[in-house]
Amino acid sequence: MTFSLSLLGQYAPQLLKGFELTVIVWLAGSLFAVVLGFALGCALLSKHSGLTFPVRCYVEFFRGTPLLVQLFVAYYGGPSIGITLSAFTVGVVGLGLYGAAYFAEIFRAGFASVPAGQIDAARSFGIPVWSRIRRIILPQMLVLSVPPGITLLIILLKDTAILSIVTVPELTFQVTGMTIETFAFVEPFAVLAALYWALTELVSFLGRRTEYRLGRYLK
Amino acid sequence: MSNLLHILPPTAFVLLLGAITTLVVSLCGNALGLIIGTTVCLMRISLHRTARVVAATYISFFRGVPLLVQLLIVYYFLPMIGLDLPPFFAAVIGLGLCSAAYQAENLRGGFLIIPKGQAEAARAFAYTPAQTRRYILIPQALRAAAPALINEMILILKASSLVSVVGVADLTRESQNIVARDLNPIKWYLIAALIYLVINFILARLGATLERRLNVGYGAATL
């Protein structure tokens, strides 16, 4: 069992391309997930069950089923109802819809943990509704949402590997292709694991720093 | 041709078989994860520096690398060291190794809430360290970590759909097979999704019951 560096050198362009796509899909999917998740999280707080019920169903469905099966529905099932999307689009949208369900819960919990008394107090001071939201609720709920949000971002980063199964040419896809072409196993998978490990450690380090900075006012 | 189709098992039966495989793979993976996870957790909180570093590295690696990558590594690696096992075992080992890292952290949370005085009291009563762990610490840590461990079980059940990639005939793989024959992806994948949803719902319910039972005599939520 020898470790061949030249093999890795030969495949470096593909690996780099895959790594780049992993990061792109992850960032695009996460952005989608945060935006949609925020909207859904707000919807969950509504008093109208006509709004909360469908959103609750959405959240339970996407949190209760495997991402892989959701991707299969979109990628293989889409064309049969006239929605033909590229693998990349399915990847970003799939990751986004999946992540949004979790972000919805995170933001909802964030909103719910702002004490009601603060809002009552703000109202009795005559602070207008938009200022109440912007200056009192949002800053606090965002700080509370950051730690679970970062955990979720790391989960989504790792879940991008699943996109290789629906042929998104990201890092895992490139490495599996390399294994099939060369019959080499140790080198490609060592690099694969190391790259993901480094990436998740980096994100969690940045996340801890962000948490510290945002949470400083609480200390 | 129509005769041939009749010999094939009815789809409902195939899906049921797939669902059972999914359940068995994830429960075995979960059990293996609990065993390894307890060991890793005890190393993580032990007094030996080396053990702590090894455990921390284990946790960081298995939580930092995607499960799919871990499954592929286990799947290719086992034959390389001469273990030619069916894919089922590769899947259980892969799920177990990964889940162990999460369960170790969950259990650590459970251990941290046990007051230090209890271990000291146990020593004063001449308990050996092994006895202290077995009779005093582990039962309490398990109870405190139960909600997180049950949640982990549900996560593993969903993650187990990835074992279809290494050739285990689980629910996902069986629905793929049906789609290959039936060419109706939306229908069958949505049915598969619903089955996952139902299994998760049942597990969550059982988990809630178990939690209530574990907390009998311990007031409300022990945390």
Rounded to whole angstroms, the Cα distance separating A30 from A20 reads 15
Tens of pLDDT, residues A74-111: 998 888 888 888 899 999 999 999 999 999 999 999 98
User: Where are the domains positioned within chain A?
Assistant: 5-218
CA–CA dist B22, B154 (Å, integer):
12
Least confident range from A67-71, A75-79, B94-98: namely: A75-79
Residue-wise pLDDT tens digits, B41-84: 999 988 899 999 999 999 999 999 999 999 999 998 888 888 88
Enumerate domains of chain B plus CATH numbers. Answer: 2-214 (1.10.3720.10)
Confidence (pLDDT) at B72: 92
Contact (CB<8Å) B65/A176:
no
Whether the predicted pLDDT of B31 surpasses 90: yes
Q: Tell whether B61 lies on the interface with A, counting CB pairs under 8 A.
A: yes
What percent of chain B is modeled with pLDDT above 90?
Answer: 53
Burial of A40 (0-12, 13-18, 19+ CB in 10 A): buried
Whether A13 shows a pLDDT value over 60: the answer reads: yes
Q: Give B159's contacts in chain A (Cβ within 8 Å).
A: 66
> Across the interface, which of A80, A81, A172 has its CB nearest the CB of B69?
A172
Query: pTM, whole model, 2 decimals?
Result: 0.87
Cβ-based contacts of A176 with chain B (< 8 Å): 72
Q: Taking Cα atoms as reference points, which of A203, A187, A204, A211 lies closest to residue A3?
A: A187
Locate the chain A residue with the closest alpha carbon to B76: A185
pLDDT at position B221 over 60: no
| Confidence at residue A219, expressed as pLDDT on a 0 to 100 scale | 64
pLDDT digits (tens, 9 = 90+) for A38-49: 999 999 988 888
Among B65, B175, B196, select the one facing A197 at the smallest CB separation: B65
- Band (pLDDT 50/70/90 cuts) for residue B219 is low
Q: Mind telling me how many Å the CA of B139 is from chain A's nearest CA?
A: 28
pLDDT at residue B4 tops 70? no
* Dihedral angle, C-alpha A103, A106, A109, A115, nearest 10 °: -110
Residue B2's pLDDT band, with cuts at 50, 70 and 90, is low
State the Cα torsion A189-A19-B60-B223 to the nearest 10°: -130
pLDDT of B8 reads 60
pLDDT band of residue B222 (cuts 50, 70, 90) is very low
Residue A209 pLDDT exceeds 50: yes
Fold classification of A5-218 (topology level): MetI-like fold (1.10.3720)
In which band, very low, low, confident or very high, does the pLDDT at B223 lie, cut at 50, 70 and 90?
A: very low
Please give the average per-residue pLDDT across B156-174, as a whole number. 92
User: Looking at residues A123-139, what average pLDDT do you find?
Assistant: 88
Contact A56, A44 (CB under 8 A): yes
The pLDDT of residue B6 is 60
Alpha-carbon gap: A72 to the closest alpha carbon of chain B (Å): 7
